[in-house]
Amino acid sequence: MDDCHAPAGAATSTASDVKTHLVAIVGPPNAGKSTLFNRLTGLRQKVANFPGVTVEHRMGRVKLDLGREVFLVDLPGVYSLQPRTEDERVTHDVLTGEMKGLRKPDAVMLILDSTNLGRHLSLAPPILSLGLPTLIILNMADDLGRRGGEVNPEELSTQLSAPVALISASHGTGIEKVVEFLSEAVFHEKPKPPLVQLPIIYDVPKVRDWAADIGRRTNYRPPAPPLWTRRLDGVFLHPVLGPLIFFLVVLGVFQTIFAGARPLMDGLQAMIEGSGKWMQAALPDNQLRSLLIDGIWSGVGSVVVFLPQILLLFLFIGVLEDSGYLARAALIADRTMARIGLQGKSFIPLLSAYACAVPAIMATRTIENKRDRIATILIAPFMTCSARLPVYTLVIAAFMPDKSLLGPFLGTRAAALLGLYVLGFLAAVITARLLKSTVLKSTRSPFMLEMPPYRWPTFRSLGLRLLDRSKVFLRRAGTVILGVAVLLWVLSNLPLHDGKTPEIGDSFAGMIGHAVEPAIRPLGFNWKIGIGLITSLAAREVIVGTLGTIYAVEGTSESVGLREALHQDLTPGGAAALLVFFAFAMQCMSTMAVVRRETGGWRWPAIQFAYMTLFAYVFGYLANRIVTAWL
Amino acid sequence: MLQLVATGLLAATLLLVHNKAVLQMRVNKHPHHDNSGFRDLTMLRKGESAILDHIDLPEDDARRLMELGFLPGHLVTSAHAAPGGDPKVFRVDGSEIALRRETARHMFLKQAETQA
C-alpha cells in the first residue's frame, strides 16, 4: 500500500486546529471496542451511517488536557482487512482513506483481546502495514491475570515497533496510556517498520504462525479456560435445562414488553393527552390550534407512547447481549429458525415484533449476516403487534357473537383473535421462505457464531445503549413522523368550508376515501373504511378513533355505539376482509421510517409497503368472497 | 390473558417445528464417507478432540473459518450443542465457535492412526 505518500497529516498540517484530529478504533468482534469507545467518549458520541452503506459507525469526542479534543471513530469489528463483507469494506475503506464523507484517520488504535492473543494478533499485520501511527491495546487484562495468563507489553512493543497498552476497558485500568497516545496523536511521526518481518497478509495459516511466533518471543502465556463460562454453559446449554431456561427468558421478555410496559405507556399517554387538553384550553380556538394539538401533538404522541416499550426491550437485549447469553439463545433457536430460512439471531427481534415492529427492527442489528438481517426486517411487521389489537377487538366484538367453543377455556372471540395471530405468523413464515429462496438467497455463507465468555453487563454500557436508542427513535418521531402527522391533519381538516373545518366526509381524506372506494369495494369496504385506512397509516389503532369521528360516536374499541354503527355499515365479509387486511398490511409510518433508517434508503421500505399491501389486498378479497359465500 | 394464550401458541409452534427438525435430522444422519475415509467434524463426540486436516468448502468460507481458528493442524474439541445436536459448539484456538452440521460435515479430521 502506498501509505508513504498518502497525506496522512495533510489535513492537519493545513489546519493548525487540533480539534480535527481523527483516530480510528479497530479490532475483532468481542474485543471490547465499544466498551473502550464508551469509556473514552462517554456521552459525547453519536451514531451515523456512511453514505450508501447500511453499516453504522459511531463518532465521538475525547476531551484532552489544554482544551484539546480528538475525534474517535468506532469501526465495525473485523477479523481481517480483506474487504469481503460490508463491515470489512467499511473498515478497510475508512482506514485507507477511501471512504466518502470521512477523511483518512491520523492514527489507529488496534484493540485485541489479551486472553485470546494468538488469534487476535492476526489482525496486527494488516493494520500495521497501513503505515499509520498505531497503538496496540491489549484488553481484558483483568481477565487474563485472573485466569493465570501472562503477556509482556514492553517486549511486544519492541517486536512490533509500536506502542502497546495493557488495559481493562470495563474497569478503566491502564486507560491513561490510551489517553496519552491520543494527546500525542498530533505529533506522531510515521512509525518505524516492525523489527519482525510481517507475514503475507492474505495467507491465514502463515499469519497465524507469525502470531504464534510473536507470542513465543514475548513470552505470552495463554490463560486457563474460563471456568465460570464452562460451568454456566453446562446449565444454559444443558440438553433439558437449556431449552427450559431459554423458554423462561423468552417468556420474561415477552411478558415485560407486552404487559410490563403497559402502565408506563398508559402514563405517558395520559400525560400527552393531559398536556394536549391543557394547551387546548390555553390557546385560542382556530385552525392553528387544531393543527398543533390534533395534528402534531396527538400524532407524534401516538408514536412516542411506544418509547417505554422500546426502552424496556433494549434493556433486555442489552443485558442478554452484554452478558453473553444472547449468543446461547441464538444457538438454541437456530435449528427452528433455519427451518424458515433464517438463523438463531433472528429469533429475539421477531419475538419483539409481537409487541411492536419498531424496536424489533432496531434489534436486528445483532444479526451480522446482511441478508438474514434484511429478511428479518421485512417479515417483522407481519407479527401481530399491540397496535393491531384495538382494531381486532373492535371488529371481532362487532361481528362475532361471544359463544363458548371449548368450555370456559376458549370463546369464539378469543379463537378469532388467536386465528389472526396465526395468520400473521404464517404470512411471516411464507414471506421468509419466499425471500430466502429468491432475492435474499444467501450466498450460502456458513453460519458461524462465536460464544463469548459470560461477563457482567455494566450500567454504563446499558445506559448509553438506552440513551442511544431513545435518541434514534425520538429523532424519527421529530422528523418523518412529524411530517406525516401534519400531512394527515391537512388531509382530514382541509379544505375549509365557509372558513370552518369540514365534516370528515368532505375533507381531502374524505375525497380520497370516496376516490379509492371503487378500488376497495371488492374487499367489501366503503369510503368510510377508506378514510380509516388512510388515517391509520399514522398508526394502526388510529382507525378506531377515525371511525368514531365518522359515525359520530365514541371512538374506542370498547364503544358499544361504534360496534353497532360498524355492524350496520359493514357486511360480515367486509369485516373479515378488514381483519385480514390489518393482519397483513404495513399501515404504520413509524415502521417504515425505521426500516428506511436501518436499511439505508427508501428501497426496502417501498418494496415492503407494496408487498404487504398487495398481500393484504389479495387475502382481504379472498376473505370477503369466502365469508360472503359461506354465510 | 390473551398475551398468555399468544405466548403459548408461539411456544407450541416452536416446539412443533423443533421436533420436526430433530426428527428430520435423525433421518438425515448418515455419515459422510466420500472424502476417502476422513472423519468429519460432526462425528466428534462431546468432549472429544482431534486435529483438523482440511476444509472442503469454497475458499472464502474456508478463509473465514480459518480466521476464527479452524486451521488445519490445530486441535478441535467438540463442546456443547443446541437441543437436537445442531448447531454444535467447537473449541478452537482459545475460543468457542458454533457451526451448523451443514458446515461441519465439510471439515475433515486427521485420522488417529496416521497420527500415531
- Whether A336 and B18 lie within 8 Å, measured CB to CB: yes
Q: What's residue A165's pLDDT?
A: 94
Q: What's residue B56's pLDDT?
A: 92
Cell numbers found for residue A357:
415492529
Please give the Cα distance from A460 to A468 (Å, whole number): 12
Q: Which residues is B89 bridged to in the sheet? A: B98
Nearest Cα to B11, choosing from A165, A315, A425? A425
Confirm whether the ipTM is greater than 0.85. no
Please give the Cα distance from B94 to A115 (Å, whole number): 8
Q: What's residue A408's pLDDT?
A: 67
Does the beta carbon of B9 lie under 8 angstroms from any beta carbon of chain A?
yes
- Whether B93 and A450 lie within 8 Å, measured CB to CB: no
Please give the Cα distance from A93 to A84 (Å, whole number): 12
Lowest-pLDDT range of A417-421, B1-5, B78-82 = B1-5
Q: What's residue A235's pLDDT?
A: 93
pTM for the full predicted model: 0.78
Lowest-pLDDT range of A22-26, A276-280, A459-463, A490-494 = A490-494
Quick one: DSSP state of residue A168?
Answer: B
Number of A/B CB contacts below 8 angstroms equals 138
pLDDT above 90 as % of chain A: 23
SS (H, E, C) A514-550: HHHHHHHHHHCCCHHHHHHHHHCCCCCCHHHHHHHHH
Does the beta carbon of B12 lie under 8 angstroms from any beta carbon of chain A?
no
Q: What's residue A134's pLDDT?
A: 92
Q: In 3-state terms, what secondary structure has residue B95? A: strand
* Distance of alpha carbon B92 from the chain centroid: 13
Compute CA distances A454 → A166, A226, A230, A327, B91, whole Å. Answer: 21, 9, 9, 10, 15
Does the beta carbon of B26 lie under 8 angstroms from any beta carbon of chain A?
no
Q: In 3-state terms, what secondary structure has residue B45? A: coil
Q: What is the mean pLDDT of chain A?
A: 83
Closest CB to B3 among A237, A258, A449: A258
Q: In 3-state terms, what secondary structure has residue A221? A: strand
- Whether B94 and A334 lie within 8 Å, measured CB to CB: no
- pLDDT tens-digit readout, A240-267: 999 999 988 888 877 776 677 778 888 8
Q: How confident is the model at residue A300 (pLDDT cuts 50, 70, 90)?
A: confident
Quick one: DSSP state of residue A211?
Answer: H
**Best-predicted range by mean pLDDT among A36-40, A110-114, A271-275, A362-366?**
A110-114
Provide the H-helix boundaries in chain B. Answer: 2-28, 59-67, 101-104, 112-115
Q: What's residue B35's pLDDT?
A: 54
Cell numbers found for residue B72:
488445519
Please give the Cα distance from A546 to A564 (Å, whole number): 15
- pLDDT tens-digit readout, A164-180: 999 999 888 999 999 98
**A448 vs A496 pLDDT, higher one:** A448
Q: Please state the rounded mean pLDDT for residues A58-77.
A: 85
Q: What's residue A345's pLDDT?
A: 83
- Whether B72 and A222 lie within 8 Å, measured CB to CB: no
Q: Do residues A299 and A488 make contact, with C-beta atoms less than 8 angstroms apart?
A: yes
Please, which residues 68-97 of chain A have a Cβ atom closer than 8 Å to chain B? Answer: 79-80, 82, 84
- pLDDT tens-digit readout, A28-66: 988 888 889 988 988 777 766 666 555 667 888 888 877
Q: Which residues is B96 bridged to in the sheet? A: A451, B91
Residue A515 buriedness (CB in 10 A; 0-12 / 13-18 / 19+)? exposed
Q: What's residue A445's pLDDT?
A: 66
Please, which residues 145-184 of chain A have a Cβ atom closer than 8 Å to chain B? Answer: none
Q: What's residue B6's pLDDT?
A: 58
pLDDT above 70 as % of chain A: 89
Residue A616 pLDDT exceeds 90? yes
Compute CA distances A17 → A8, A11, A13, A59, whole Å. Answer: 16, 10, 9, 18
| B63 interaction partners in chain A (CB closer than 8 Å) | 80, 82, 204
For residue A166, what is the enclosing H or E element?
Answer: strand A164-166
Q: What is the mean pLDDT of chain B?
A: 76
Please give the Cα distance from A21 to A62 (Å, whole number): 10
Q: How many degrees, rounded to 5, is the angle at CA A70 between CA A69 and CA A73?
A: 145
Q: What's residue A34's pLDDT?
A: 85
Q: What's residue A480's pLDDT?
A: 67
Does the beta carbon of B41 lie under 8 angstroms from any beta carbon of chain A?
no
Residue A27 pLDDT exceeds 90? yes
Closest CB to B71 among A208, A335, A425: A208
Does the beta carbon of B104 lie under 8 angstroms from any beta carbon of chain A?
no
**Best-predicted range by mean pLDDT among A79-83, A160-164, A576-580?**
A576-580
* Distance of alpha carbon A342 from the chain centroid: 17
- pLDDT tens-digit readout, A502-559: 777 788 888 888 898 899 999 999 888 988 888 888 778 778 877 877 777 766 777 7
Q: How confident is the model at residue A1 (pLDDT cuts 50, 70, 90)?
A: very low
Q: Do residues A95 and A108 make contact, with C-beta atoms less than 8 angstroms apart?
A: yes
Please, which residues 68-87 of chain B have a Cβ atom closer than 8 Å to chain A? Answer: 68-69, 71-73, 79-84, 86-87
Q: What's residue A19's pLDDT?
A: 46
Residue A67 pLDDT exceeds 50? yes
